[in-house]
Structure 1
């Protein structure tokens, strides 16, 4: 049988070795956990960027649509002004034609 000091040293060495394995495992778990957090933050950040880009694209499409509507309304306004001028010119022409006709009848 082994002497007591040898057995104690042997047990002490086993205890040290097993505790180091546990510490290494704990460190590995902590490192893994700390690396998972930045990965999740990166994923969240990437999702936010994608959502922001989609919102910007949607707003740009809405702005483009609004610009097209403004151009259409401006064109309609110009057409209305043109038809109003034509109507006014026609009325002015008709009124002056009537006055000339009346004057020629009075002159006769």
Structure 2
């Protein structure tokens, strides 16, 4: 009769030991799966960072191009103003000369 409880206890111990091995294996598998997921996430985050950096560099390049265009347009505007001022000055001096000539003619008459 004593052998029966001993066999039951032995079977129970074996069952506990084997179940712990299975749990440990499951834990290892879960840890490996979670580490592969975290590696994928970190890889995705790295790719996102690379894409963000490329976008930023592209935007900086566009900003530099726009700044150079603005400078070019400002120079053109200054040239146009100078031409316009020169033309106005010439027109004013021509008008002044014409007026003086007309006055002289009126005074001579």
TM-score by length of 2: 0.75
- C-alpha distance in structure 1 between counterparts of 2:11 and 2:51, whole Å: 60
- C-alpha distance in structure 2 between counterparts of 1:99 and 1:73, whole Å: 38
Partner of 1:78: 78
Partner of 2:102: 102
Aligned residues: 106
- C-alpha distance in structure 1 between counterparts of 2:71 and 2:27, whole Å: 66
* Aligned pairs for 1:48-59 within 5 A: 48-59=48-59
Measured after TM superposition, the shift of residue 13 of structure 1 is: 7.7
Partner of 2:60: 60
- C-alpha distance in structure 1 between counterparts of 2:8 and 2:103, whole Å: 140
Which runs of 5 or more residues in structure 1 are unaligned?
none
Question: Could you report, residue by residue, the CA deviation over 1:71-102 in whole angstroms, capped at 9, with x for unpaired residues?
Answer: 11111111111111100000001111111222
Question: Could you report, residue by residue, the CA deviation over 1:46-84 in whole angstroms, capped at 9, with x for unpaired residues?
Answer: 111111111111111111111111111111111111111
Measured after TM superposition, the shift of residue 24 of structure 1 is: 3.5
TM-score by length of 1: 0.76
Which runs of 5 or more residues in structure 2 are unaligned?
none
RMSD: 2.7
